[in-house]
């Protein structure tokens, strides 16, 4: 479980937790919207995150925050492909593409991406077959509802078992489509159709997802439930985000998706130093 198969003979070692750095090439992301819309500044930011210790760079061209404008596949491709191409020429750090659209998946993998990070867990038409044919790794994330309305009134019988059962079902569907388990990451989807209490319960019992036998990715960085719990705007959520990344790794996550790579890497080094193996 400590190696992720990236396909085509490449692997990613997950013996120590890996930090995935976020690069949003969007005008309207909740955390850094509009900061990296031109390819050169997005690549510069990505390489800064690599220098700070990121082990994966996640490139996205469409915001998933509630109320964000939908983007066509053509526009998404125009945003992310120049960034992925330049990045893959400049670094060997694996690049993931944050998308649900098969056209974007194909273009991104042709440009060098080796992980498909899909917040819809390959539920869009043709997404499963496309990801299987591309032969790269996938991150299957849980989301209740759709981004536009997901925070309206999320409900679960038990959030941890509901998320676990959903992910088990998506793993089976992915395997049936031809994606080997060795190529899968799983993700409870913090903030995607969840109240603050749901997020806290998932984090508290994250280890329950380990029964699925695949590495867990946790994305908690700067999320709005931090703002709700602490009353802080998005640009003041660094300390809480680092604490949450640390807790996620302590509770079983192998990959943490973050905006602030340097502080998270330092905190995880300290966790590693005190951990007896």
Q: Which residues are catalytic?
A: 223, 257
Give me the least distance between CB of 175 and ligand 9MG, in Å please.
Answer: 19
Determine if residue 213 is left, alpha or beta; phi over 0 gives left, psi from -120 to 50 gives alpha, anything else beta: left
Q: How far apart are CA 141 and CA 186, in angstroms?
A: 6
Question: Is 219 a residue that touches ligand 9MG (CB under 6 A)?
Answer: yes
Q: Which is nearer to ligand 9MG, 167 or 265 (CB)?
A: 167
Among 26, 45, 100, 117, contact with ligand 9MG (rule: CB under 6 A): 117
Q: How far apart are CA 179 and CA 173, in angstroms?
A: 9
Give me the least distance between CB of 185 and ligand 9MG, in Å please.
Answer: 8
Q: In angstroms, what is the C-alpha Rg of the chain?
A: 17
Please, what sign has the CA dihedral across residues 250, 168, 222, 51? positive
Question: Is 139 a residue that touches ligand 9MG (CB under 6 A)?
Answer: yes
Question: Is 98 a residue that touches ligand 9MG (CB under 6 A)?
Answer: yes
Residue nearest to ligand 9MG (CB): 219
Q: Which is nearer to ligand 9MG, 96 or 273 (CB)?
A: 96
Q: Which is nearer to ligand 9MG, 111 or 138 (CB)?
A: 138
Question: Is 64 a residue that touches ligand 9MG (CB under 6 A)?
Answer: yes
Q: How far apart are CA 154 and CA 194, in angstroms?
A: 6
Give me the least distance between CB of 89 and ligand 9MG, in Å please.
Answer: 24
- Integer angstrom CA distances of residue 145 from 61, 191, 277: 21, 12, 40
Q: How far apart are CA 106 and CA 121, in angstroms?
A: 16
List beta partners, residue 257.
20, 219
Question: Is 253 a residue that touches ligand 9MG (CB under 6 A)?
Answer: no
List beta partners, residue 19.
256
> Which segment (3-11, 72-80, 129-137, 185-193) binds ligand 9MG by CB under 6 A?
185-193
With H, G, I as helix, E, B as strand and everything else as coil, classify residue 219.
strand
Which residues of the shown chain bind ligand 9MG in the complex (CB under 6 A)?
60, 64, 98, 117, 119, 139, 141, 187, 189-190, 217, 219, 257
């Amino acid at each position: 479980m400590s190696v992720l198969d990236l396909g085509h003979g490449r692997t990613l070692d997950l013996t120590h937790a890996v930090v995935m750095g976020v690069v949003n090439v969007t005008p309207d992301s909740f955390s850094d919207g509009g900061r990296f819309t031109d390819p050169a500044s997005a690549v510069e930011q990505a390489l800064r995150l690599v220098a700070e210790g990121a082990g994966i760079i996640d490139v996205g061209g469409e915001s998933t925050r509630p109320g964000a404008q939908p983007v066509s596949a053509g526009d998404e491709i125009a945003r992310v492909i120049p960034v992925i191409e330049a990045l893959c020429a400049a670094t060997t750090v694996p690049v993931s593409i944050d998308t649900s659209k098969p056209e974007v998946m194909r273009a991104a993998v042709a440009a060098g991406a080796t992980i498909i990070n899909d917040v819809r867990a390959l539920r869009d038409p043709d997404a499963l077959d496309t990801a299987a044919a591309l032969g790269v790794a996938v991150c299957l994330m849980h989301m209740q509802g759709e981004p536009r309305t997901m925070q309206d009134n999320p409900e679960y019988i038990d959030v941890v078992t509901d998320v676990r059962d959903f992910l088990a079902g998506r793993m089976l569907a992915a395997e049936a489509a031809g994606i080997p388990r060795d190529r899968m990451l799983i993700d409870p989807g913090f903030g995607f159709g969840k109240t603050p209490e749901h997020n806290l319960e998932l984090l508290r019992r994250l280890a329950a997802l380990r029964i699925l036998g695949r590495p867990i990715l946790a994305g908690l960085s700067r999320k709005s439930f931090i703002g709700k719990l602490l009353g802080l705007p998005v640009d003041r959520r660094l300390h809480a985000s680092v604490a949450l990344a640390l807790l996620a790794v302590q509770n079983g996550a192998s990959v943490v998706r973050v905006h602030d790579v340097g502080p998270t890497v330092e905190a995880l080094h300290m966790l590693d130093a005190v951990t007896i193996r």
